[in-house]
Structure 1
Amino acid sequence: MTSSDGPVAADPLRSLLREIHLLAPDQLSAAVASHGRGLGSRETVVYLADYEQLLLQPLRGEGVPVRQELRVDGSLGGRAFRRVEVLTSPARTRAHRLWVPLLDGVERLGVVEFVVDQVTPELQEQLLAYVGLIAELIVVNDAYTDIFAQLRRRKTMSLAAEIQWDLLPPLTFASDRVVVAGALEPAYDIGGDTFDYAVNGPTVDLLVLDAVGHGLPAALLASAAVGAYRHARRDMRDLPDVAAAMNEVIAGQFTDSRFATAAIARLHLDTGQLRWVNAGHPDPLIVRDGVLLHPGPCKPHPPLGLQVRKPDVCEVQLHVGDRVVLYTDGIVEARPASTWSLKSLLAAVGAGSSSSTDAPTAVSSRWAATPRSQPVSSRSSTTRTSAPRRASASSAEKLRPPWALVVASRPRPSAAATSFSPSSSQTGVPAATPARTCGSRYSTAVKPSGLRLTRRSPTTKTCRNALCGVGQVVHCSRMTSWTRCPWASVYG
């Protein structure tokens, strides 16, 4: 029996489960629509979000109603996708249209549209279970086909971006102990910026990496570095040994003095201890109740590929509800600083206070609302309803560097739950302290390790900024820009 021939079984979920073993990926949408009728849905259409999460693209197939793409910021289906909730609207006389978020765990894949005669709690429960099965089928079948990847892209993707997207883990993960969410921009032309994570019982390993250069060479370097990272991590090595393994691969395989900066972290869920090594990279940021905290003294080391010894381990004690933000310097190097800066990043992270998984999406929204290095046909917010903004060639003179971001959070327990958050005196681990800034008259320049000030205004003053590392002096002014300098001049 097939979904297009003959009657559908009384239990559509069981019937679809029996059918999937011999179901080709291009038949999935038709099977979903057919078995949906057994649940009382006249029409069932699956929509997948594009890579930038700006549009919802319908998955077409035999017997599937024809639909057009939906804007995430201008449609009811998009609102259901953004808010991760079931929404209902009138479809036609005596019919209702339901929009159900399509989730793989907590990762948003898209939405499913149902047209039903009546909306009851029992029906919604059945449809939620059905959509959960659909999500699993899409994730499993994605490994066997290009159909879903082709549907998700709105324009040609560079080879470097193709390599990087295939390298990424799922963008979000959530449990009752930790939430991890990541973002990567620009979606179609990224190079050496990437991230990785792994949840291994009581520990969560996090990596954010920025390979030097652009395009394919940077993507190949990042790919080798992430491969070495995963190999060492799965070999259960400590953080300095993980960094040493990555350094050895980069130095041995890329002999033209190429390198990658990285923050390699490990979060211990039982104690809340965060340990990391800094390889020429911005230190992690900690946001607690909307306040930025400095993680404490941490000696920076040269980038991976240029190290001569294992890096030191830094550590800090986290509290329940803290957010750890790892990012690449493309975020703080964006121009103009007034529209995209560390302050904007922290505002975006804080804006997702209701859900830790919202933070990277909020960051993507802020980025999408500003001009890019390449003209974009239509860019708009993925988290807040706003008018679409069209970027023209004349507005693209401001260079937007690529960036990667990963946010890890320890969820707050429910009122009935109990939790233990050890203090620094109990663990011997330094506690996070409020970060200092350069004063209200001057913009705060965040200096990633190994970068130096190359332009300054006459009003420049020198100050110490806790975000820049112990003993490092930064220049804070209304006109600051950071550019890479020879590592010998920094560490020689």
Structure 2
Amino acid sequence: MRFLPEEEQQRLVAACFARSDLTLEQLWMRYFALGGSLSLLELDAYLNGLFALPRVDRDMVAHAVNERLDEVTGPARAPYSHSVTDAKPLHGPLKALVDLLEGAHRAPPERLPAIVAEAGRALDLKIDVYLADYDQRTLVPLRPGATELDIETTVGGDVFRRAGTTVTREGTMWTVLLDGVERLGVLEIVPSGDADPDDPVLREQCRWLSALLGHLVTITTKYGDGLDRRRRHRLRRSPTELLWQSLPPLTGATERVVVGVSVQPAYDLCGTVFDYALSEGRAQLAMFDTGARTGSANTAVLNALAAYRAARHGGASLAEQFAAVGAELEARAGAPAVSGVLAELDLGTGVLRLLGAGQAAPLVVRGGEALPAAECAATRFASAGGPPPVTEIRLERGDLLALYSRGVTETTNGAGEPFGRARIAEHLGHDADELPPEIARRLTRAVLDHGRGEFRQDAGILITRWVAR
């Protein structure tokens, strides 16, 4: 197989991109849709000859450019790393990617393990997929007969908690399975033949397979139940099912901010919801809570969530969002009282603006220590009389912001002692260096342990880390 020199391919791809009428952001979106995971800045650096890419990435960028050239200019195309006469790759990372893409076309979710196995054979690897159950206690194997893995005590669980990669002394590679930034599970990768798990090239190839598989797991779960059933250990009641379908992913991130959430009990969640929206300039965050676990509580928090989203989507200010939630709740007389917190974080300056109603103000942890509590003066959401004063806090790089439901603070132990705000601060300080979704997961586990293995109220925690430039 003849390969085009990397520098020559980069020069020609950049020239073709200049003729494509695509913006850098549009090219990145096309590249990302093909399974790419480089950042916008890395793609920009590559096109300007400042950053080297693996061959798989270079060909994905070339293909993204060519798709656009086919639309607007005709035959002149960006070159791939190998000659056109090579046609479909017969081995290696490109074949693995092609096998995944072709095998997943119209495939039901339960066929994914076989598709992954075929892709692994192209790299001389045996690959097993484990998905986290919805309680995030165990990793459930997709291969029949394999054993579940405890997240707290196994190698695979450690990789999931750290969102990393580990090679055992036996030569088995474990790597996290991600859809973007959301942890879905782990891959167990056993090399065969001459494959070396310590080879950085092989690790990079496995990272690409993992990233593409993560996208496929999420996409296929949306139109089939095969993978979703494997992740469930219990049935969900219909109110809980409706609530989960209304929530965003448990992890979201941009270059400037990371959000991680845990809400429990996963199979009986009822009176707590959360939301977030991330953009270039700000992060908008919300949590609504009734403190009750009834059908009417479920309806009340979903109504509050819908009113908040409608106002936010319409470009409403923080005060207008607060009033919109109040108007929605006032129109539903007899519904359980809903408390909550709305927040906006300016990602350029670190200024955090808060409005709360009947709920403890969020915690900010800096350097492992909780800052003095902010004030959220309103006792309820209301549309009349004007919004309460907005509380402003200036965050510093690396600060953690925690929004939490009443079930976190009010869960009691055998002596009747509530978990309390001080314990939240202690756990946040202890785990401050972990990823936000892992911090949130550990905190709800601590609440469960404090409550003697039972959630009598919903426990919701939303962790945000501001990453200043």
- Shorter-chain TM-score bucket reads 0.7 to 0.9
Contact 1:72 1:82 in 2 (8 A): yes
Q: Does 1:313 align with 2:390?
A: yes
Deviation at 1:53, TM superposition (A): 1.1
Contact 2:99 2:115 in 1 (8 A): no
Q: Does 1:325 align with 2:374?
A: no
User: Which amino acid in 2 is paired with 1:405?
Assistant: I
Contact 2:322 2:383 in 1 (8 A): no
| 1:55 alignment partner in structure 2 | 138
User: Which residue of 430, 446, 464 corresponds with 1:366?
Assistant: 446
Deviation at 1:33, TM superposition (A): 0.9
User: Which residue of 410, 419, 424 corresponds with 2:466?
Assistant: 410
| 1:142 alignment partner in structure 2 | 221
Where do residues 39-78 of structure 1 align in structure 2 (5 Å cutoff)?
A: 39-41=123-125, 43-60=126-143, 66-78=145-157
Change in CA separation of 1:294 and 1:151 when aligned onto 2, cut-off 3 Å: same
| 1:15 alignment partner in structure 2 | 99
Deviations 1:332-368 (A, max 9, x none): 1111365722222112211222234132122023124
User: Which residue of 315, 326, 329 corresponds with 1:247?
Assistant: 326
Contact 1:295 1:316 in 2 (8 A): no
User: Which amino acid in 2 is paired with 1:108?
Assistant: R
| 2:456 alignment partner in structure 1 | 400
Deviation at 1:247, TM superposition (A): 1.4
Where do residues 153-232 of structure 1 align in structure 2 (5 Å cutoff)?
A: 153-211=232-290, 213-232=292-311
Contact 1:50 1:56 in 2 (8 A): yes
d(CA) in 2 for partners of 1:156, 1:370 = 25
Contact 1:257 1:305 in 2 (8 A): no
Contact 1:288 1:323 in 2 (8 A): yes
Contact 2:408 2:447 in 1 (8 A): no
Q: Does 1:304 align with 2:389?
A: no
2:292 partner SS: coil
More deviation, 152-161/47-56: 152-161
Change in CA separation of 1:409 and 1:213 when aligned onto 2, cut-off 3 Å: same
User: Which amino acid in 2 is paired with 1:403?
Assistant: A
| 1:278 alignment partner in structure 2 | 356
Change in CA separation of 1:295 and 1:369 when aligned onto 2, cut-off 3 Å: closer
1:209 partner SS: strand
| 2:205 alignment partner in structure 1 | 126
d(CA) in 2 for partners of 1:126, 1:257 = 53
Change in CA separation of 1:306 and 1:257 when aligned onto 2, cut-off 3 Å: farther
Q: Does 1:28 align with 2:112?
A: yes
| 1:383 alignment partner in structure 2 | none
Change in CA separation of 1:333 and 1:295 when aligned onto 2, cut-off 3 Å: closer
| 1:454 alignment partner in structure 2 | none
d(CA) in 2 for partners of 1:53, 1:282 = 26
User: Which residue of 361, 367, 373 corresponds with 1:289?
Assistant: 367
d(CA) in 1 for partners of 2:466, 2:376 = 26
d(CA) in 1 for partners of 2:234, 2:104 = 31
Q: Does 1:151 align with 2:230?
A: yes
Q: What fraction of aligned residue pairs are identical, expressed as a percent?
A: 31
User: Which amino acid in 1 is paired with 2:371?
Assistant: L
Deviations 1:272-292 (A, max 9, x none): 111121112211211111222
Which structure shows the higher strand fraction?
1
Deviation at 1:271, TM superposition (A): 1.2
d(CA) in 1 for partners of 2:244, 2:444 = 16
d(CA) in 1 for partners of 2:435, 2:130 = 24
Change in CA separation of 1:235 and 1:68 when aligned onto 2, cut-off 3 Å: same
d(CA) in 1 for partners of 2:377, 2:418 = 28
Q: Does 1:264 align with 2:320?
A: no
Deviations 1:448-483 (A, max 9, x none): xxxxxxxxxxxxxxxxxxxxxxxxxxxxxxxxxxxx
Deviations 1:215-264 (A, max 9, x none): 32211111121111111101110011111111112221x22153211100
Deviations 1:119-175 (A, max 9, x none): 222211111111111001111112111222221111222333222222221112233
Q: Which runs of 5+ in 2 are unaligned?
A: 1-87
| 1:474 alignment partner in structure 2 | none
d(CA) in 2 for partners of 1:215, 1:330 = 14
User: Which amino acid in 2 is paired with 1:23?
Assistant: A
d(CA) in 1 for partners of 2:422, 2:442 = 13
Which structure shows the higher helix fraction?
2
d(CA) in 2 for partners of 1:12, 1:365 = 38
Deviations 1:59-101 (A, max 9, x none): 14xxxx641211112222112112222222366xxxx322111
d(CA) in 1 for partners of 2:150, 2:435 = 24
Contact 1:260 1:305 in 2 (8 A): no
d(CA) in 1 for partners of 2:425, 2:339 = 22
d(CA) in 2 for partners of 1:361, 1:237 = 32
Q: How many matched pairs?
A: 372
2:464 partner SS: strand
d(CA) in 2 for partners of 1:182, 1:170 = 8
| 1:436 alignment partner in structure 2 | none
**Runs ≥4 in structure 1, deviation > 6 angstroms?**
none
User: Which amino acid in 2 is paired with 1:400?
Assistant: R
Deviation at 1:211, TM superposition (A): 2.6
d(CA) in 2 for partners of 1:189, 1:121 = 44
Deviation at 1:8, TM superposition (A): 9.2
User: Which amino acid in 1 is paired with 2:178?
Assistant: L
User: Which amino acid in 2 is paired with 1:278?
Assistant: G
1:330 partner SS: helix
d(CA) in 2 for partners of 1:212, 1:47 = 34
User: Which residue of 182, 185, 192 corresponds with 1:110?
Assistant: 185
Deviation at 1:207, TM superposition (A): 0.2
Deviation at 1:295, TM superposition (A): 5.2
Contact 1:81 1:108 in 2 (8 A): yes
Contact 2:293 2:458 in 1 (8 A): no
d(CA) in 2 for partners of 1:305, 1:277 = 12
Contact 1:8 1:15 in 2 (8 A): no
